[in-house]
């Protein structure tokens, strides 16, 4: 088992990761009857995508002796209705390592663009991903 989830009422869930016993809570967003006091489930989809991208890039970067530490990722989620769903995700990676040649940058971008979460998303979801190497 990966996780155990308990619905706490008031549109909030408590999610426990079985292996580590770490806990995250979710809350419905304010535009969907929630308090917006925690990540919403759709927020977590976006966060999962971005963290999967940088994690897989980090694995490959370690093999290349490239340091991606302190990479910052900005995410913007756009919701659609009928049916309510994520319509678009904008992701911008700010990678503070100017000592990488263009070939290695392209390799790392390809790895990020092909992470497992990316490959699990519906093809109708619009993704705008940009890499800023500084």
Q: What would the two tokens of residue 12 be?
A: 């909030």
Query: pLDDT digit string (tens) for 62-118?
Result: 999 999 999 999 999 999 999 999 999 999 999 997 688 999 999 999 999 999 999
Instruction: Give me the residue spans of the domains in the chain.
Output: 1-39, 40-133
Name the CATH topology of 40-133: GMP Synthetase; Chain A, domain 3 (3.30.300)
Q: Name, in order, each residue with C-beta under 8 angstroms of 75's C-beta and a sequence gap of 6 or more.
A: 46, 47, 49, 50, 89, 90, 91
Q: What is the pTM of this model?
A: 0.95
Query: Which residues pair with residue 121 across a beta bridge?
Result: none
State residue 98's pLDDT score.
67
**pLDDT tens digits, one per residue of 36-48:** 999 999 999 999 9
| Contacts with 87 (C-beta within 8 Å, 6 or more apart), sequence order | 78, 79, 80, 125, 126
């Amino acid at each position: 088992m990966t996780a155990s989830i308990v619905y706490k009422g008031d549109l909030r869930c408590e999610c426990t990761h079985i292996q580590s016993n770490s806990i995250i809570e979710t809350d419905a967003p304010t535009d969907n009857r929630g308090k917006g006091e925690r990540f919403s489930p759709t927020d977590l989809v976006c966060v999962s995508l971005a963290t999967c991208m940088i994690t897989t890039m980090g694995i490959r970067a370690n093999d290349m002796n490239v340091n991606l530490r302190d990479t910052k990722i900005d995410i913007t989620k756009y919701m659609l209705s009928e049916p309510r769903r994520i319509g678009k995700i904008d992701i911008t990676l700010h990678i503070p390592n100017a000592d990488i040649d263009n070939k290695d940058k392209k390799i790392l971008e390809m790895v990020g663009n092909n992470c497992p979460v990316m490959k699990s998303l519906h093809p109708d979801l619009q993704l705008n991903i940009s890499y800023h190497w500084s």
